[in-house]
Amino acid sequence: MKLCEECHKEPAAVFLKLAVNNKVTETHLCPACAARKGMGFGLETGAFNISDIVGNMSGYFKDFLPPEKKTLRCRACGLKYSEFKESGRLGCPDCYASFEPQLTELMARIHGSSQHAGRAYAGGASLKLSRAETARRLEELRAELRGAVEREDFESAARLRDAMKALEGGRRG
């Protein structure tokens, strides 16, 4: 019989095997030490709920984050990536850019793809964009428009001009 790896007194009843970055780690804990680490599964009372296991283990997984993800921070608000992983909430709009590779990977794991494939919001054209996002999109459209004019692709140029007018009209509104 294996003893608990924390207290070295009680027999281990919780066996946790984690695979992180192709490294397998095994932990053997008694129910009391497992509960202290936030892994109380209700086994003592006979009540077993899988959401309790998954929810309570989130604190345990943060110890296994690669060092670059522990220290990754948002440039604007200072939110750590590890804090985002704990709470599931971003701190500001700049967090999307700061954590883009990690969020792309996370969305692909959760949804099977990081690209939206569903229907678009019916009022999509009237969505309010930040001034910075509007300016960035306008600059992109202007560059595309210059390229279309140089190629003498006037059909595309007209579509781009209309898109710029719609974007500028939304900015003023």
Query: Can you tell me the distance from the alpha carbon of 14 to that of 29, in angstroms, rounded to the nearest whole number?
Result: 5
Output the CA torsion 48→52→58→59 (10° steps): -90
Claim to verify: residue 19 and residue 38 sit in the same structural domain: yes
Three-state SS at 12:
coil
Average pLDDT over residues 14-25: 76
Confirm if 149 and 157 have CB atoms less than 8 A apart.
yes
- The answer as to whether 120 is a domain residue is no
Give the range of the structural domain holding residue 71, as residue numbers without chain letter: 67-111
Claim to verify: residue 35 and residue 56 sit in the same structural domain: yes
Claim to verify: residue 129 and residue 162 sit in the same structural domain: yes
- Give residue 6's pLDDT: 87
- The answer as to whether 9 is a domain residue is no
Query: Can you tell me the distance from the alpha carbon of 83 to that of 10, in angstroms, rounded to the nearest whole number?
Result: 33
Region of 3 (left: φ > 0; alpha: ψ -120 to 50; beta: rest) is: beta
- The answer as to whether 142 is a domain residue is yes
Claim to verify: residue 43 and residue 73 sit in the same structural domain: no
Give the pLDDT band of residue 66 (cuts 50, 70, 90).
low
Claim to verify: residue 47 and residue 73 sit in the same structural domain: no
Claim to verify: residue 74 and residue 86 sit in the same structural domain: yes
Higher-pLDDT residue of 62, 136: 136
Claim to verify: residue 104 and residue 131 sit in the same structural domain: no
Claim to verify: residue 71 and residue 98 sit in the same structural domain: yes
- The answer as to whether 52 is a domain residue is yes
7 pLDDT more than 50? yes
Give the pLDDT band of residue 143 (cuts 50, 70, 90).
very high
Claim to verify: residue 50 and residue 36 sit in the same structural domain: yes
Claim to verify: residue 60 and residue 87 sit in the same structural domain: no
E strand segments, the chain? 14-20, 23-29
Specify burial of residue 6 (Cβ count, 10 A radius: 0-12, 13-18, 19+).
Answer: middle
50 pLDDT more than 50? no
Residues of the chain above pLDDT 70, percent: 68
Structural domains counted in the chain: 3
Three-state SS at 120:
coil
Amino acid letter for position 93: P
**In whole numbers, what is the pLDDT of the chain averaged over residues?**
76
Average pLDDT over residues 91-110: 86
Claim to verify: residue 146 and residue 107 sit in the same structural domain: no
pLDDT tens figures, 67-99: 554 568 888 999 888 888 888 888 998 998 888
Average pLDDT over residues 93-115: 82
- The answer as to whether 37 is a domain residue is yes
Q: Which of 41-50, 127-136, 154-163 has the largest mean confidence?
A: 154-163
Structure tokens at 26: 């095994």
Query: Can you tell me the distance from the alpha carbon of 78 to that of 84, in angstroms, rounded to the nearest whole number?
Result: 11
Higher-pLDDT residue of 147, 107: 147
**Helical spans, DSSP H, in 43-93:** 50-56, 58-61, 67-71, 81-87
Confirm if 103 and 97 have CB atoms less than 8 A apart.
no
Claim to verify: residue 58 and residue 19 sit in the same structural domain: yes
